[in-house]
Amino acid sequence: MTDKDLPALSIADLQSLLRRREVSAREVIDALRARIEAVDQDIGAYLSLDMEAAAQEAEKSNVDLPLGGVPLAIKDIINVMGQPCTCASKILQSYRATYDATVIRRLRAAGAIPFGKTNLDEFAMGSSTENSSMKLTRNPWDLSRVPGGSSGGSAAAVAADAAIGALGSDTGGSIRQPAALSGVVGFKPTYGRVSRFGLVAFASSLDQIGPLTKTVNDTALIMNAIAGHDPQDSSSLNEPVPDYAARLGEDLRGVRLGLPKEYLIEGIDPQVKTAIDATMKQMNSLGAEIVEVSLPTTEYAIAVYYIVATAEASTNLARFDGVRYGYRTENPKDILDLYGRTRGEGFGQEVKRRIILGTYVLSSGYYDAYYLRAQKVRELIRQDFARAFEKVDALVSPTSPVPAFKLGERVGDPLQMYLADIFTIAANLAGICGISVPCGFADMDGQRLPIGLQLLGKPLDEARILRIAYAYEQSTDWHKTRPPIASVPRKA
Ligand code: GLN
């Protein structure tokens, strides 16, 4: 046994204990179970847990594998065989996955133990996790606030030390924004870097799976396991995968960071701005050069996203018809009644709003005016980034214009909710990679709320982005500060 607070450890620290046989994988699962029992009633991060199976897997786990014996939480939109996969939707409430997503297969091959499924906005549509049809998830730093979304359950679990690390998915910011609001690291890889096979599709040209962790090093360790080509995902890239953890630790001398002048918009919280200014000074003192750049087309990113993403969602979600799987309405009188009532009863309000919007922008007569035009502007956004990356190694901005907002504050106002992703959405449209790392705290009503720094990198440049994020993280104490719900200071 050990007197260490095991669930508070990073993946790297936990692994060194496991490898030195100072703790067993079984003890880790037991400690994690106790921790979840202690805090998850308040947080509400998990939709389902399978601790018995996890304990059995732990008994036979090989702790010498890269992630040997490390339990990981999985957003409930990624298929884990035998476990529920609800997408936080009534329409999949009783569905159990019949296969492992490629990322899960790879995590298992690396020795990790997927033990539980985390809450999200229904089908990953949202920025606060309040669109879940299952339960509310609260921010561990202030239980009256949202954890961000849509991967809010994964972010809150990691922040509250109710998970060692987690997977999320990011279509317009759903890994990075909850990471920022909950004070953890969140990474969206380049489109195609990580297989989407077994991720329930929201918007197929934008979706990516990625890690949420306590440290940048942990993100690199998970990336080492999940990145790479998959013949079962035709959009996955057939490019070699570097060792992401190997070159962390190089300094920032000679690194050029671009600060997009369009990103210091009105409406950005003054405390967020102060934190970003201080971060830029810090980067500078670490040897980085800060350069102003311009991304003129990104002001259209939100508009373009809500055309492209809803169009793709309207076709992807057509499969939930009450015939093949999931919820089916009672006593339909004919096939149209079956479809109509199943979908009417099964989908929540935001999902219906998006299906209707997406169907509209794809309909003949409006296709050219909306969908086709949005695709053209999307290409201009991609070119903006490509031009900027000719001059700089990475782009910097806040991850979110505001710290965590209050539960209920934005639910009645979809536009306000959509604006929460103003800094994250363009990266998905351009297919580039991006990370959020803790970079300070705001003081709101006497509570400390985390602030996130976003670093964006060109396609397949994740190793460099991780290196820059790591150098910054290691020069600060932000990632060691833990929310009030946790009791012991985290070491990293
Ligand atoms: N918040 C954005 C949306 O509601 C992005 C969601 C995501 O990345 N899955 O679509």
Across 18-24, average pLDDT: 97
pLDDT of residue 418: 86
Instruction: Tell how far the Cα of 162 is from the centroid of ligand 1, in angstroms.
Output: 24
Q: Are 41 and 24 in contact (CB under 8 A)?
A: no
Mutate which of 77, 121, 187, 302 for ligand 1 pocket (most atoms within 8 A of beta carbon): 121
* Ligand 1 contacts CB of residue 151 (under 6 A): no
- Position 256 pLDDT exceeds 70: yes
**Helix, strand, or coil (residue 198):** coil
Q: Quote the mean pLDDT of the chain.
A: 95
User: What's the CA angle centered on 489, arms 486 and 492, to 5 degrees?
Assistant: 115
Instruction: Tell how far the Cα of 123 is from the centroid of ligand 1, in angstroms.
Output: 9
Most distant CA pair in the chain, distance: 70
**Which atom of ligand 1 is found nearest the CA of 206?**
8
Domain ranges of the chain: 6-230+242-297+378-480
Q: Are 41 and 49 in contact (CB under 8 A)?
A: no
Nearest CA-CA partner of 136 in 155, 125, 152, 124: 152
pLDDT of residue 54: 98
pLDDT of residue 31: 97
61 has catalytic annotation: no
* Ligand 1 contacts CB of residue 309 (under 6 A): yes
User: Using 50, 70 and 90 to split pLDDT, how confident is the model at 489?
Assistant: very low
Nearest CA-CA partner of 86 in 51, 114, 121: 121
Across 294-299, average pLDDT: 92
**What are the tens digits of pLDDT across the range 170-205?**
999 999 999 999 999 999 999 999 999 999 999 999
pLDDT of residue 3: 58
- Position 462 pLDDT exceeds 70: yes
Instruction: Tell how far the Cα of 63 is from the centroid of ligand 1, in angstroms.
Output: 36
- Position 52 pLDDT exceeds 50: yes
406 has catalytic annotation: no
**Which atom of ligand 1 is found nearest the CA of 309?**
10
Across 354-367, average pLDDT: 96
User: Using 50, 70 and 90 to split pLDDT, how confident is the model at 4?
Assistant: confident
* Ligand 1 contacts CB of residue 400 (under 6 A): no
CATH code, 6-230+242-297+378-480: 3.90.1300.10
Across 83-106, average pLDDT: 98
| Given 48, 127, 133, 150, the catalytic residue | 150
Instruction: Tell how far the Cα of 22 is from the centroid of ligand 1, in angstroms.
Output: 41
* Ligand 1 contacts CB of residue 172 (under 6 A): yes
Instruction: Tell how far the Cα of 128 is from the centroid of ligand 1, in angstroms.
Output: 9
The two tokens of residue 424 are 């994250």
pLDDT of residue 484: 87
* Ligand 1 contacts CB of residue 210 (under 6 A): no
Beta partners for residue 244, in sequence order? none
Please state, in angstroms and rounded to a whole number, the distance separating the CA atoms of residues 490 and 209: 26
pLDDT of residue 2: 53
Q: Whose CA is nearest to atom 4 of ligand 1?
A: 126
Q: Residues of the chain with pLDDT > 70: what percent?
A: 98
* Ligand 1 contacts CB of residue 126 (under 6 A): yes
* Ligand 1 contacts CB of residue 170 (under 6 A): yes
- Position 488 pLDDT exceeds 60: no
User: Using 50, 70 and 90 to split pLDDT, how confident is the model at 490?
Assistant: very low
User: Using 50, 70 and 90 to split pLDDT, how confident is the model at 267?
Assistant: confident
pLDDT of residue 88: 98
pLDDT of residue 270: 94
Instruction: Tell how far the Cα of 188 is from the centroid of ligand 1, in angstroms.
Output: 13
* Ligand 1 contacts CB of residue 316 (under 6 A): no
- Position 442 pLDDT exceeds 80: yes
* Ligand 1 contacts CB of residue 462 (under 6 A): no
Instruction: Tell how far the Cα of 311 is from the centroid of ligand 1, in angstroms.
Output: 14
Give the side-chain half-sphere CA count within 13 A for 249: 5
| Given 10, 24, 132, 174, the catalytic residue | 174
**Which atom of ligand 1 is found nearest the CA of 124?**
9
174 has catalytic annotation: yes
Per DSSP, the chain holds a count of helices (H) and strands (E) of 15, 11
Would you give the distance in Å from CA 385 to the centre of its chain? 21
Q: Are 184 and 154 in contact (CB under 8 A)?
A: no
